[in-house]
Amino acid sequence: MESCCAAVMPEEPSYSLEEPMTVASRRKKYLINRSKSDRRPSMVREWDGSVHRRTLSLYAKVSEKQRAATAAAETPMAAQNAFHLLNNVITPTDEEAAARKMEIKYSARTDEYRRPTNPNFRKEQGWNSLVFAERNMELVTEHRQMAEIDNVMVYLSRNPGTNSSYIQWKFDLSETGLRVDKFGLRFPYDTSEDGHVRVYLKPDLYEDDEDGGYCSSTTATTTDGQGHVPVFSSPVLHQIPEVQGWSRFSLVAELSCKRGACVFHHSQLFLQQRTPGIFEKDVKKYPFKVDISLA
């Protein structure tokens, strides 16, 4: 009686060592080709189905990392290390200098900058329109399946096939004779698995006409030996007192991998949903914001 009801399961086929298949891919092939006449108890079938889904997820992650490593290896190193100097420098307007205040914010959803403190500046289209220099950066649109709902996300990230990227915003207050009194920054970023993001502020060097040498635009104390002030991910505006007294400085973000090659979307800047929410607040509309009080 037991032999009549027992399910006849096919033996898992053997593969030659020369066949370039991972353990996950062999398991996937075996489960797909398995006989559909399965009379096992429902609990056993559900458990095996769960193992099957986890195996497919592992297979997808392994394949994704392999593609990222292959693309990085095929991309010429000279192309990966090429900087694009856009030479956009953010300076205070006459209205901002009179008001002693500058405010700039960016939305990845609409890919535009806003400058509320400048009445003549309505908007600037394009993430690189106010960027001084960049390398391997791009605006990414990604579809994500969440609870059977297809969400479309947008963010800044690395170009596919590259191991690192760089973006720099440059500020110059020297022509107005003003310096930073208070510096507020909202700069959210996300990482997963081997992705890594490093954000920092640094004072710029300028040429001294008297002796032909170079000196710093500020004497303020920074928090590391290179003169950089680290910036940590924050969804709210927070003050950075180390920037007080600066007149020429840059905001820099570097996206990379902790080890080897990783998928480009494992490090993200300014992640947003493509569809805006109802009664959405400013922090959701414009995740990136710089708020400077001048003195």
**Do 26 and 163 reside in the same domain of the chain?**
no
pLDDT of residue 96: 94
Instruction: Identify the domain containing residue 274 by its residue range.
Output: 79-294
1 located within any domain = no
The pair of three-digit structure tokens given for residue 64, joined into one six-digit string: 């994704």
- pLDDT of amino acid 142: 83
What does the alpha-carbon distance between residue 24 and residue 30 come to, in Å, rounded to a whole number?
10
**Domain match, 118 and 43 both:** no
Q: Which residues share a beta bridge with 49?
A: none
Q: Which of 11, 45, 74 is the last residue of a domain?
A: 74
- Say whether both 44 and 184 belong to one domain: no
d(CA 128, CA 166): 12
Q: Say whether both 68 and 148 belong to one domain.
A: no
Each of the 295 residues of the chain gets a pLDDT tens digit; together they read 454 555 555 565 555 544 555 666 666 666 666 545 555 566 666 666 666 666 655 555 544 455 555 555 555 555 556 788 999 999 999 999 999 999 999 999 999 999 999 888 778 899 999 999 999 999 988 876 655 566 788 999 988 878 889 999 999 999 999 999 999 999 999 988 888 999 999 998 754 444 443 345 444 445 555 689 999 998 899 999 999 999 999 999 999 887 766 677 888 999 998 888 788 888 899 999 999 999 9
Q: Tell whether 59 and 142 lie within a shared domain.
A: no
Which CATH number fits the domain that encloses residue 129? 2.60.120.1020
- Within a domain: residue 16? no
- The verdict on residue 42 lying in a domain is yes
Let me know how long the chain is: 295
CB within 8 A of 15, min separation 6: which ones? 21, 26
Q: 171 in a domain, yes or no?
A: yes
* Residues 174 and 63 occupy one common structural domain: no
Do 31 and 175 lie in one domain? The reply is: no
For residues 70 and 86, membership in a common domain is answered with no
Sign of CA dihedral 43, 47, 49, 50: positive
> Is the residue at 12 inside a domain?
no
pTM listed for this prediction: 0.69
Whether 56 and 133 share a structural domain: no
- In this prediction, residue 225 carries a pLDDT of 55
Same domain for 190 and 274, yes or no, is yes
In a domain, 182, yes or no: yes
Whether residue 5 lies inside any domain: the answer is no
Contacts of 250 (CB under 8 A, 6+ apart): 132, 168, 169, 170, 171, 201, 202, 204
Same domain, 230 and 282: yes
Tally of domains in the chain: 2
Which pLDDT value is given to residue 210?
A: 45
Question: Exposed e or buried b for every residue in 105-136, given b needs 16+ CB within 10 A?
Answer: bbbbbbbbbbbebbeeeeebeebbebbbbbbb
Choose one of 57, 74, 91: the last residue of a domain.
74
What confidence score (pLDDT) does residue 208 get? 43
Domain boundary among 29, 52, 74: 74
Please check whether residues 133 and 37 belong to one and the same domain.
no
